[in-house]
Chains A and B, each alone.
Chain A
Amino acid sequence: KAGVTQTPRYLIKTRGQQVTLSCSPISGHRSVSWYQQTPGQGLQFLFEYFSETQRNKGNFPGRFSGRQFSNSRSEMNVSTLELGDSALYLCASQTGTRDNEQFFGPGTRLTVL
């Protein structure tokens, strides 16, 4: 089985712009979670989508949003980028049922200038 894929792998944006990141989960997985990793805050949960519905949400401002498509692929969007949004954005997929592990993609490295 192919693993979780994320595109693009690297991205450079300027303050005020918006960005869309994409994640393709493992085939058959219906849940996709997004995490942000920064040196200062570590790995923090953004949100999770299951069957096209947001199931869990972390403590991030409304500038961070996401969606999931019927094929379970997911996108996250960050509007009005700030310097502090520079981070590694990680996507993880799982089957969506109880007691199961999340499999992470390689991440998208976003740099905001």
Chain B
Amino acid sequence: DAKTTQPTSMDCAEGRAANLPCNHSTISGNEYVYWYRQIHSQGPQYIIHGLKNNETNEMASLIITEDRKSSTLILPHATLRDTAVYYCIVRNSGNTPLVFGKGTRLSVIA
């Protein structure tokens, strides 16, 4: 079973920041937080991952709380192409499978 809880759906206005929350209250010390997204009928796309510190790349920022029990994925300037299902996944190493929950369906609205 997935070890994360995410809202079922969210809306975001185009050009605004999209903040997607994820709860992972049972995360253990050696587990990473990964984010993937899946645009309709395509394979999931890796976005970002982190362990303790906040991370940023060209796609998004990942903010992990100090107790590591929750995190937020931030898309700084959402576009219509960011409309997708976003999955937050807890994973203890690169050698373990990804366990997908139901994710958050983000709709970016013009």
Contacts and interface: CB of A to CB of B under 8 A. Distances in A.
A42 B44 contact: no
A43 B94 contact: no
B43 A98 contact: no
Contacts of B43: 4, 90, 92, 104-107
A64 interface: no
Interface string B82-110: 00000100000111111111100000000
Nearest to B35: A101
A70 interface: no
Contact of A99 (B45, B94, B98): B94
A56 interface: yes
Interface residues of B, number: 20
Interface in B15-62: 32, 34, 41-46, 49
Given A4-B43, A102-B46, A45 B97 contact: yes
Interface of A: 4, 31, 33, 35, 42-45, 48, 50, 55-56, 58, 88, 90, 92, 94-107
A77 B46 CA distance: 26
Contact of B44 (A56, A99, A104): A104
B46 A96 contact: no
Contact of A45 (B42, B49, B98): B98
Contacts of B95: 31, 50, 55-56, 96, 98
Contacts of A105: 43
B97 A33 contact: yes
Contact of A97 (B34, B42, B94, B99): B94
A100 B93 CA distance: 8
Given A43-B44, A90-B43, A102 B100 contact: no
Contacts of B99: 45
Contacts of B96: 56
